[in-house]
Amino acid sequence: MVSAFAGVGFGISGEVSVPVAVERSSLWNHLIDSIPPLDQPWIILGDFNCCRFETEKAGGSCLSDSRLGELNNLVFKCGVQDLSSTGLLYTWCNQRLNSPIYIKLDRILVNTALLDSLPLAYYKVEPPFGSNHSPLIFISTHAKPTSARFKFKNYWINMEGFWDDVYTAFSVKTSRSPLAAFSHSLQCLKRSLKLRHWASSNFLSSSILDLKAKQHSCLLELQKQPLDSLLNSSLKSINENLAALQSHWSSWIAQRAKASWLTQGEDDLGFLFAKLRQRSNKNCIKEITTDEGHFNTHSEVSRAIVSHFKNL
């Protein structure tokens, strides 16, 4: 179940304008106070009467930083992200021949829980029907790509057995050309790594949770026997292993997020996960139109792209 409420009042339909800054400020506060729990999927959609970025407006006067900051502050305080969209960029125009203005006033904002449930969801911005505003059509697709690309995780080099796999893969003699031999060795290494239990990031998260449980249990025992040498030795070993795993986890998160600035301060994993989900939601072709027609499923889009380049 997905909760939804409009950005200009609670409900899906209706076209309400909030032109006064004071009234918009009241609306922002009302939305912030009314959002459902963050662990439940929900969306905010509708006419917000302002946009987030300068590139979302063409014509008219320039947008001030304070005007742009209104909606961006709401996005930050509610912990939501822009959902990816197809179709038109601008959702409103003044329909004037002289001094036309085009701007993105309507949008759909989603929380992280919704992207967890519907990672490939998006919305269409359709041409307007007798209104200055374009309708937004929410597409809650469950379709997922059939396969995911292999990505080397930097923390693997510290895992037991990694260098054994590297040595085995590159020590095989072959009559292939140097480039073909190198490619073959990489393929062998890839297959070996995928069989390792520590290759999945789930291994890190589950191992960290297990160690935290052991750490908690050990600390409880030490409250009763604080001078016990075996318990203190066990706690030290647990803390060292936990620190190593958390370092690997931060390395993988930074690698996925391409956030080199993560090493410059405290890592906010919640913020990073939200950015990862948002980027994953946007970095996927939802629809495509070619000479052969319009396609909106992963398999159809893939075939259309392959067919296009084959024709070229």
Residue-wise pLDDT tens for the chain (312 aa)?
A: 555 554 443 333 333 344 466 777 888 888 888 888 877 888 888 888 888 898 899 888 888 887 788 888 888 888 888 998 988 899 998 888 888 999 999 999 998 888 888 888 899 999 888 788 999 999 887 565 555 677 889 999 999 999 999 999 999 888 888 888 898 999 999 999 999 999 887 888 889 999 999 999 999 999 988 888 899 999 999 999 999 999 998 888 878 766 544 554 445 556 666 777 777 777 778 888 888 888 888 888 888 899 888 888
This prediction has a pTM of 0.54
DSSP string, 143-165: ---S-------GGGGGSTTHHHH
Are the C-beta atoms of 27 and 8 separated by less than 8 Å? yes
pLDDT confidence of residue 240: 93
Q: Are 113 and 71 in contact (CB under 8 A)?
A: no
- Range 136-141 contact pairs with CB under 8 angstroms and sequence separation of 24 or more: 136/45, 136/85, 136/91, 136/106, 136/107, 136/108, 138/43, 138/45, 138/108, 139/286, 140/2
- What is d(CA 124, CA 122) in angstroms, rounded to the nearest whole number? 7
Q: What is the pLDDT of residue 259?
A: 53
Q: Determine the pLDDT at residue 226.
A: 87
Supply 185's token pair: 């060795």
Domains of the chain: 3-139 (3.60.10.10)
pLDDT of residue 234: 92
| Strands of 115-259, DSSP E | 122-125, 136-139
CA end-to-end span of the chain? 45
User: 301: closest CA among 88, 141, 150, 151?
Assistant: 141
